[in-house]
Amino acid sequence: MPDPIALLSELIAAGRDGEAAVQRVVAAHLTALGCAVESFVYRPEEVTLREEFAGDRAIVAGARSAVIARLTGTGGGRSCVLFAHPDSEPVPANHGWSADPFRARIADGRLHGWGVADDLSGVAAMISGLGAALGEGWRPRGEIVIASTPSKRHARGAAAVLQHIARPDAALYLHPAESGAGMGEIKACTPGLLEFRIALAGRAPDTQEPGHAAFAHRGLNVADAAAALLAALSALDAARGGRVAHPRIAGFAGRATNVLVSSLRFGAEGARNRLPVDGVIEGSISFPPGESLASVMAELRAAVAAAPLPAGWPEALHPRIDFPAGVSGAETGADHPLFVCVEAAIRAETGAGAFVNPVHTASDIRVPIVQQGVPTLGLGPLGGDLTQNGRVDEWVDVEDHRRCVAVVARALRAWCG
């Protein structure tokens, strides 16, 4: 088994030739560990889900491929599936990196490379962690499944894998931590996320004049409708913030839910003498485990319908709301045996206990929990400057990646042994 940093560097280099090349490297190393390996092909739009949806425009259509490796247990032990995603952000022509992004580079204790923190480190840690456990002569009593499966842009790989294998007793999602805590953090709780889009429609004044300022009182300005909608959304945010409770999330962030307006567009830049007649408000709502997507959608619809539009606004031009995507929240309790097992492994390898980060919204830990009721935790090394956040020279901490590998090995032996 190669050194964990050498394996991670190999995956980064393979990324130059795309996701399929990365998966070939994954399959080869898992085969070398004695796993039964298969390439599982699925279509994201055909994966059935509970408490999760995405519109056609949100999903990248077409066949996707997951690598699934099984290590059969000797019997009588608990099973576990480990999953991480090999798909990274698309590589633009002008990526802005300070060096070749597909040649792993270590500087100041950080390993830089395309996709290293999102999520090649997680993929590598699964393989290296299993290799480290087996390298000490240990064999699991329960089955271990390693799944390198697409995730980005609603690829639904983890859900597809779960529908393809026997239901496991537990799951671990490996992904570098963006919070700054690295291996001092466990993701055991994730808020749900509902994305919304509100389309606004007005009416131009009845005039052939090119300018509208003198006739503005004769039209229906979407800016007026937008003001009413923004006030209604703000009121909904305040009401939910005072009513919706969740100790883990509120104890960490100060409240358990938020309504975020992220974009407001109407009119044309520079058209200062034209009345805007269409517009869009976009945003999202975070909500805690225990609330359903349907109930949150109903609240938002009711708030939009009740917004006090200006007098005379016709029914036919009332705002229209749609939901591009939504996922529900999920959590695993700190008293669950999986949490106790993983926290003990982290303490043994780091010398300190781990804290629960409950605010990584829509984390993939939700997938096994919501779809099949499988207790799931997330963990990973310190990482940063993610490409998906518009940064460059993405990195993971070298020593924390090694600690992640050691924690995975220790947790597998304790849980599946």
pLDDT in tens, 207-222: 988 889 999 999 999 9
Whether residues 76 and 170 fall in one domain: yes
Taking alpha carbons only, the member of 24, 43, 16 closest to residue 123 is: 24
Whole-number pLDDT of residue 1: 67
pLDDT recorded at residue 152: 87
Residue 302's domain spans which residues? 192-327
Looking at 271, 295, 327, the residue that finishes a domain is: 327
> Reduced to 3 states, what is the DSSP secondary structure of residue 193?
strand
- Tokens, residue 295: 């109930």
Which among 273, 299, 327 is the end of a domain?
A: 327
Answer yes or no: do 288 and 334 share one domain. no
What φ, ψ does residue 9 adopt, rounded to 5°?
-65, -40
Say which CATH number the domain at 254 has.
Answer: 3.30.70.360
Statement to judge: residues 43 and 183 lie in one domain:
yes
Sign, CA torsion 109/115/117/123: negative
User: What is the tally of helices (H) and strands (E) in the chain?
Assistant: 10, 20
Sign, CA torsion 358/361/364/370: positive
Strand-pair partners of 39: 67
Query: Alpha carbon 5 to chain centroid distance?
Result: 25
Half-sphere exposure of 133 (CA within 13 A, CB side): 25
Same domain, 174 and 292: no
**Quick one: which of 262, 263, 245 has its CA closest to 254?**
245
The CATH number of whichever domain residue 362 belongs to comes to 3.40.630.10
Q: Contact, 147 vs 164, CB < 8 A?
A: no
Residues 289 and 350 in one domain: no
List all residues 6 or more positions away from 295 whose beta carbon is below 8 Å from its beta carbon.
none
Quick one: 42 and 148 in the same domain? Answer: yes
Query: Which positions of the chain have pLDDT values less than 50?
Result: none
Residues 123 and 247 in one domain: no
Hunting for tokens 């999330």 — which residue is that?
A: 249
152 token code pair: 């980005």
What is the pLDDT, as a whole number, of residue 93? 83
Please tell me the distance from the alpha carbon of residue 136 to that of residue 159, in angstroms, as a whole number: 32
Question: How high is the pLDDT of residue 60?
Answer: 78
Q: Is 382 left (phi over 0), alpha (psi -120 to 50) or beta?
A: beta
| Total number of domains in the chain | 2
224 and 252: one domain?
A: yes
Same domain for 153 and 78? yes
Sign of CA dihedral 413, 414, 415, 417: positive
What is the DSSP pairing of strand 320-322 with strand 192-201? antiparallel
Short-list 83, 113, 115, CA closest to 101: 113
> What pLDDT score was predicted for residue 282?
98
Q: Give the separation between CA 78 and CA 348, rounded to whole angstroms.
A: 21
Are both 48 and 178 inside the same structural domain?
A: yes
Last residue of a domain, one of 309, 327, 345: 327
Give the closest residue to 116 by CA, choosing from 9, 43, 240.
9
Q: Give the tens place of pLDDT for each residue, 6-46.
A: 999 999 999 999 999 999 999 999 999 999 999 999 999 89
Same domain flag for 162 and 203: no
Q: Do 223 and 94 belong to one domain?
A: no
